[in-house]
Structure 1
């Protein structure tokens, strides 16, 4: 593996950004040195194909983003440990005072596929074990899907991907300050799903439980 070439590609991209993107947004970058005030937090997948800033076509400073395998938000916990997503959520909601938290799942998600098939179940850490432990939080949502649709095939995978968004939303609402702010009308928690194959963004209608195209 030629890692030097990979880094060279990044540096070349940075140069293009500095000459074009940074220059075009120079005033905005200058204002951002004073701090940030995004209105939206996005919890999305680490997948290289689903960059929230690109999908939502936003300028620097508009989104506070945390990305992880399968775009998961864990439930509220007070146990010792390193709670990265919870720390980001706390910072966004309590300190940045974002107006909404959007969980954005996506099509062809490897993390959701791992949750569905359980192919990594029992693997050692460093060999899939970390992934298996992380997507374990989808087990309750996974079981009825697997029973009805099996564990392979695009229909079952999509069902798992959509269910994962709903699991994360429920987990977000287990955080006391999220629940309080949402009840007070100070915060909205929303679900979204980006279909890679056709580029369509779907938004969750919580009244019906269905995901509908954002353009409708």
Structure 2
């Protein structure tokens, strides 16, 4: 195993700074988390984008959120076909083992994955259509959303519309998992669709019964 290398010095220094300050000041709390295990009530599915800082947005502490990140915060439909499903596994663990009571799907502005999907579906990103493209195959989850925004005019408006469609697609796909349906039917699990503008700090939520997005 010759692939792993030591951390860059700047990251090692940051770690030592955290260990000497934040960790030292809260050592008892971290020890409790280690001894008692995690009991998060909320799962957050967000994008890998480094500009989306989930715990900061909600002021969450260690142990509060069970977080899964992937390209464009997408959830595939329930499809137990034997392939590897990191996102599906995270949802299953959160719902059946941790018994979370809320699942948040958090989309965001200027999403590179969604922009790639927009280009791929429009035929201007042939590299994403290649079977060898992991990103392209993953973004196929959102292709139905692209069809639904066909009448939206202007690139920026289309990008935002598809970002919002990504959140709703993931919410709808979550509802196809049997264990999610069961917990929702008993009133023990709620699904939430959110979208944040990384430049403005605004947070929008989808009201399913009214079919509208509103600022939180």
Q: With structure 2 as the length reference, what TM-score do the two structures score?
A: 0.90
Instruction: Give the CA deviation at 1:6.
Output: 7.4
How far apart are the structure 1 equivalents of 2:198 and 2:84?
Answer: 31
Where 2:49 maps in the other structure, the secondary structure is coil
Q: Check the 8 A contact 2:107/2:195 in 1, yes or no.
A: yes
Once residues 204 and 123 of structure 1 are traced to their aligned partners in structure 2, the CA distance between those partners, rounded to angstroms, is: 34
Structure 2 unpaired stretches of 5+: none
- Give 1:149 deviation, angstroms: 2.4
Q: Deviations over 1:29-83 (max 9, x none)?
A: 0111121000100000000000211211111010000000000111101101111
Q: What displacement does 1:11 show?
A: 1.3
* Residue of structure 2 aligned with 1:42, choices 44, 50, 53: 44
2:8 matched to which residue of 1? 7
Mapped contact 2:129–2:137 kept (Cα < 8 A): no
Quote the Cα distance in structure 2 between the aligned partners of 1:174 and 1:87.
14
Question: In the aligned structure 1, how far is the partner of 2:208 from the partner of 2:129?
Answer: 35
Residue of structure 1 equivalent to 2:65: 63
Give the CA deviation at 1:205. 1.0
Corresponding residue for residue 130 of structure 1: 134
Q: How far apart, in 1, do the equivalents of 2:67 and 2:151 lie?
A: 34
Where does residue 80 of structure 2 map in the other structure? 78
For 1:121, the equivalent position in structure 2 comes to 128
Q: 1:148 corresponds to which residue?
A: 151
Contact 1:107 1:195 in 2 (8 A): yes
Residue 160 of structure 1: aligned partner: 162
C-alpha distance in 1 between matches for 2:34 and 2:138: 35
Q: Give the paired residue count.
A: 206
Q: Give the aligned CA root-mean-square deviation in angstroms.
A: 1.7
Alpha-carbon shift at residue 5 of structure 1 (Å): 11
Look up the match of 2:171.
169
1:27 aligns with 2:34: no
* Alignment partners' CA distance in 2, 1:62 and 1:144: 35
How far apart are the structure 2 equivalents of 1:140 and 1:132? 14
Measured after TM superposition, the shift of residue 14 of structure 1 is 1.1
Residue segments in structure 1 that go unaligned for 5+ positions in a row: none
Judged with a 3 Å threshold, the aligned counterparts in structure 2 of structure 1 residues 108 and 185 are, in CA distance, closer, same or farther, namely: same
- Check the 8 A contact 1:28/1:60 in 2, yes or no: no
* Conserved 8 A contact 1:194-1:202: yes
